[in-house]
Amino acid sequence: MTLEKLAEQKTDAHRSRNQVSRSGNSSRAASSENINSRILEIENHIHDKHILGQIGNTPLLQIRKLFKLNDSVEIYAKAEWFNPGGSVKDRAALSMILEAVRSGKLTGDRTIIDATSGNTGIAYAMIGSALGYKVTLALPSNASQERKNALLAYGAEIIYTDPLSGTDGAQQKVRELVANNPEKYYYPDQYNNPANWKAHYDTTAVEIWEQTGHRVTHFVAGLGTTGTFVGTSRRLKELNPGIVCVAFQPDSPLHGLEGLKHLATSIVPGIYDPTIADFQIAISTEEAYEMVNRLAREEGMFVGISAGAAMAASLKVASQLKSGVVVTVFPDGGARYGVEHLR
Ligand SMILES: Cc1ncc(COP(=O)(O)O)c(C=O)c1O
């Protein structure tokens, strides 16, 4: 969380407190006071000595050995495994939870529930633990054991769903549970929640802009919920309309790029905006594995499989350029995955 963002939130809270005191409706004012005091309590948590204050502001690492085309083309990656929950999804999860508290949808008696291939679940579980909310997650039973262990360690409840139905099946299960018991749960629904992409609009994009000294020319990211690509690209294009935004996705419905979607055969997330990408690239699981291995052996970066795919996509973009600054996102680290793909 940047200081700028924190200051913005404090101003928002201050503004809504003022609105409450001007309101003539005392019961609405009372519930708004509860929300505001909860927001203040959370804001007091999110400072530099608190675990949630460590979300965002990740390093931007230069790829030095895998790419040697010429000195005029540079490739950088946001090292998102430096987030306290270990992935890029800490940003979206915190944004959705703060928005839900602010809007009054997440009260202390509700359980946060969602469908996730793992990283968002870990982020909810960590944030839920830090802020005192119960967390229930539906995930395909073939999600990696390492991820399941992390969820359990943070105290989340897991509901396993059919691996053949992927994250779509897990989403279906959550919808059923919420429909049957709407008072019990708060469902952030990361596929359709604007606070997901706004997290990247407010933080990831601004960090990339500052960390490259405003020199970024190309942004490359994979499509899962699509929050990272949509939010970061939207802001970067506002900062400089000349920035080229490239989305990538798996090249087939049956793929090993955990966290990413083959959109042609999946439920397209509501937050996806098909007009943003200047180009689309398809990446195979094998290409991603190859890059995971090379990043570990040649760059000292042990990353997850979608990060390998991000590297493969960035190399394709960079190899077309005479000059440019290509920035991508490495969503998580390699320790969260099995070892089958490692040489
Ligand atoms: C490992 C991994 N890579 C990539 C993504 C895609 O990010 P987004 O959901 O912002 O599109 C995710 C999302 O869960 C993920 O877990």
Q: Any idea which of 207-216, 220-229, 251-260, 301-310 has the lowest mean pLDDT?
A: 251-260
51's tokens: 């675990």
Nearest to 127, CA basis, from 88, 86, 90:
90
pLDDT tens readout for residues 67-93 = 876 789 999 999 999 999 999 999 999
C-alpha–C-alpha distance, residues 269 and 198, integer Å: 15
Check whether residue 268 and residue 232 sit in a common domain. Answer: yes
- 173 and 158 Cβ atoms separated by less than 8 Å: no
Check whether residue 45 and residue 58 sit in a common domain. Answer: no
- 123 and 150 Cβ atoms separated by less than 8 Å: no
Answer yes or no: is 204 within a domain. yes
Q: How high is the pLDDT of residue 45? A: 73
Of the pLDDT bands very low, low, confident and very high (cuts 50, 70, 90), residue 281 is very high
In the residue annotation, 89 being an active-site residue is answered as yes
23's tokens: 């309101």
Percentage of residues of the chain with pLDDT beyond 70: 91
Answer yes or no: is 5 within a domain. yes
Answer yes or no: is 156 within a domain. no
Across all residues in the chain, what is the average pLDDT? 89
Q: How high is the pLDDT of residue 28? A: 52
pLDDT average, residue stretch 126-144: 92
Using a 6 Å CB cutoff, which residues line ligand 1?
87, 89, 117, 119-120, 222-229, 258-260, 304, 306, 331-332
Give how many domains the chain has, as a whole number: 2
Ligand 1 atom closest to residue 307's alpha carbon, by position in its atom list: 3
Answer yes or no: is 2 within a domain. yes
Answer yes or no: is 302 within a domain. yes
Answer yes or no: is 327 within a domain. yes
- Is pLDDT of 7 > 80? no
Answer yes or no: is 171 within a domain. no
Check whether residue 235 and residue 272 sit in a common domain. Answer: yes
- Is pLDDT of 219 > 50? yes
Check whether residue 3 and residue 68 sit in a common domain. Answer: no
CATH of the domain at 251: 3.40.50.1100
- Is pLDDT of 15 > 50? no
Please tell me which residue in 32, 117, 306, 314 is annotated as part of the active site: 306
Answer yes or no: is 141 within a domain. no
Q: What is the pTM of this model?
A: 0.88
Residue ranges making up the domain that contains 61: 54-84+194-336
Closest CA to ligand 1's atom 15 = 259
